[in-house]
Amino acid sequence: MSKQELEVIGQDAACCPGLSAAPLDEVQAADLAKVFKALGDPVRLRLMSMIASRGEAGEVCVCELTPAFDLSQPTISHHLKLLRQAGLIDCERRGTWVYYWVLPGVLERLAAFLTTPHPARASA
C-alpha cells in the first residue's frame, strides 16, 4: 500500500469506543488515524462538508463539487478517492457523472468517539 492509499476501516461501531471510555489499543488507534488523516487535508475536509451537508439521504454530483475549488478535476477525484478509501463516503457512476454520499453512521461514530461526557457538577 502506498503512502497515499488509505484502507477502508471496519464499519463496526465497537471498533472505536469514546475517547474517554477507555484507552485505544494499537489497532483502534491506527484505524482512527486513517480517518483523521483523510480529514486532515483542507480540500478533503471541505469536500466532506459539501457532501455531508446534503443530509443522510442526499447525494452530490462531482460536477457540483469541482467548480468550488481552484483545482483540476483529476485532483478533486484523487481527494474523493482518499475519502472513499477511508470509509467516509461512497459513490456511484451514472453515465458521465459520479454521485457521492456520506456512508450511514460515519459522522455519528466520529462524533461519539470525540464526545466526552460532562461530569455532573454540584450547584454552588
Using pLDDT thresholds of 50, 70 and 90, give the confidence band for residue 4. Answer: very low
Using pLDDT thresholds of 50, 70 and 90, give the confidence band for residue 47. Answer: very high
Note the pLDDT of residue 117. Answer: 67
User: Any idea where the domains of the chain sit in the sequence?
Assistant: 24-114
**pTM for the predicted model, two decimal places:** 0.74
Range 61-92 burial, b when 16+ CB lie within 10 A, else e: ebeebbeeeeeeeeebeebbebbbbbbbbbbe
* Average pLDDT of the segment spanning 28-48: 92
Note the pLDDT of residue 114. Answer: 83
**Res 113 pLDDT > 60:** yes
Note the pLDDT of residue 106. Answer: 86
Q: Decide: helix, strand or coil at residue 118.
A: coil
Note the pLDDT of residue 13. Answer: 42
Fold of 24-114: Arc Repressor Mutant, subunit A (1.10.10)
Note the pLDDT of residue 20. Answer: 61
Note the pLDDT of residue 63. Answer: 93
Give the cell for residue 42. 483542507
* Average pLDDT of the segment spanning 1-18: 46
pLDDT digits (tens, 9 = 90+) for 50-109: 999 986 558 999 999 999 999 999 999 999 999 999 999 999 999 999 999 999 888 888
